[in-house]
Structure 1
């Protein structure tokens, strides 16, 4: 997944060692990578993307589950979260190829927009079959598969009898139970600055998934203009608003991951309305003349997760 992972458990069953857990975790993450990576040319997803057929394709239950969840979030967000955005992500230099560090031509942007749309990706209900209705459709699950990986590691820990844990992959998190002080897990939300790593908020959470999305790590600049890796499908261009980061709490890290991506496209005003309408716990950090402002959805405030 091109990132690091961290796992903490406050207690372990007597029969388990950290070494054995790590061995099994690597197996789980290797399987997720082998199914959903766009960087791995022989992954299940890459083979689906290379397939130019518009016939039904049998896929693993795991890949089917992630695509199904992605399509659910796409419908909920009116397509602002869209796993077919890959051609534009690649065009802007944020995909598997080397970053170009220059904006693409408008004609190319329009051309790629015609190759995108989650409605062109179709699943057969509970049959583990997927198809695209035109050959060029390209699926990129990087906005949701990392969260799925977190959930799979969490489920592994539960099968092994670990009941108090924190799993983190590249900033996406799932926690259960309590830390080794017998308190909810204390999770920091980072201040969205590229220069120095600092804490904006600490959340006290248990039994939840969490994801943070922002524009302050993966970007390039040309003549003082920042181009973020998050693409707005309404324009075909990187987002251009004052939302610096958003943190979402959800039952699964997979759902939180996808929703956080959708919020980053929506921006602060539309994003807040979307959170209120759908009762989503979301914490927004917004750029201002004085630095950053904070905005919390009603569901986030009611969750009583903020400690300081």
Structure 2
């Protein structure tokens, strides 16, 4: 017996030596949580060297991510009464706010101008009027008089940024950044990951994504565009590269009255739900904030005007349009490089 054990000892030692010398490969770490009324998910790749860095461990990184997202909520949430945005909405004329809030509002004002008013962060009173606001009691068509009355207090032309202050020309103006703030939050987290040396990641807040680099074994991050249908299915598979991607869908949140379909997407220029057949918009951009806002703007503009808008500004945009019983796709030339394979 002793002879047998002594014969195995060199082999055990050799196995331990080989194991200890084996190269540790890159590892994917995943962090999940809740923010802005939805979920967030962050996947990032750590090299062998980074796996020994306590600052990049799951709990430490999640703590830093949560702090940054909490700050965005404290700045731009309409559900927090003490947020910067809530205090501005209660103010008569103006409020000094953070550089972050000013950045998002300035981007919103640019989109408002470029889209000829299709993207408007002051549309909240009309959204609430149609029953798609926080109470979500969408089942009644408001009168033309009520619509006209609400339109009097809607319009980003009444909103401005002056130095460190945001101002409104009418006291009733109400700003809601939900159509662009999630994208901004994605950018905040992506920029933070790069600051700490993580260059391969996927950041997802409620379906708004920003990606960079690759997964282990040089595998790209792959994104699926959903096909609007009762059952979930995939329309396209794309490789986004080092970019952000946002999709705005117009086929789930609606109500019907007298056999008329009323979408949750409100056109601030008419005060009414959009009535065209554009059901899904996907935008790829370096900035998640801009991709988020652009997807909403194009959804309101509709298939023809939206595609013309995308071509004017050289945007990578993909549209799905309901035509009879079929779903047709339209896209700009800038979107083509992201397709993994042509649709059969």
TM-score, normalisation: structure 1 = 0.94
Please say which of residues 184-193 and 137-146 is displaced more in the overlay. 184-193
Aligned to 2:209: 173
- Return the structure number with greater relative CO, CA threshold 8 A, min gap 6: 1
**Greater helix share, 1 or 2?**
2
SS at match of 2:110: helix
Give CA deviations for 1:18-37 in whole Å, capped at 9, x if unaligned.
22222221111111111111
Aligned to 2:21: none
Structure 1 outlier segments of 4+, above 3 Å: none
Which structure 2 residues correspond to residues 203-222 of structure 1 after superposition, within 5 A? 203-222=238-257
TM-score, normalisation: structure 2 = 0.84
**Structure 2 residue 286 is the aligned partner of structure 1 residue 251:** yes
2-side partners of 1:21 and 1:192: how far apart?
A: 36
Gap runs ≥5 in structure 2: 1-35
**Structure 2 residue 99 is the aligned partner of structure 1 residue 61:** yes
Q: 1:232 aligns with which of 263, 267, 276?
A: 267
1:219, CA displacement in angstroms?
2.2
Q: Is the 8 A contact 2:122 2:155 kept in 1?
A: yes
1:305, CA displacement in angstroms?
0.5
Question: What is the aligned length?
Answer: 301
Aligned to 2:74: 34
2-side partners of 1:181 and 1:222: how far apart?
A: 53
Give CA deviations for 1:48-97 in whole Å, capped at 9, x if unaligned.
1011x22x421111111100111111111111101111111111122223
Question: Aligned-residue CA RMSD in angstroms?
Answer: 1.4
Q: Is the 8 A contact 1:38 1:96 kept in 2?
A: no
Aligned to 2:185: 149
SS at match of 1:10: strand
Q: 2:144 aligns with which of 79, 100, 106?
A: 106
2-side partners of 1:31 and 1:192: how far apart?
A: 34
1:100, CA displacement in angstroms?
3.9
Which structure 2 residues correspond to residues 268-307 of structure 1 after superposition, within 5 A? 268-301=303-336, 304-307=337-340
- Per the alignment, do residues 243 and 98 of structure 1 end up closer, same or farther by CA in structure 2, a change over 3 Å counting? closer
2-side partners of 1:99 and 1:182: how far apart?
A: 48
Q: Is the 8 A contact 1:11 1:180 kept in 2?
A: no
SS at match of 2:219: coil
Point out the structure with max Rg over C-alpha.
Answer: 2
Which structure 2 residues correspond to residues 43-122 of structure 1 after superposition, within 5 A? 43-51=83-91, 53-54=92-93, 56-122=94-160
Q: Is the 8 A contact 2:138 2:254 kept in 1?
A: no
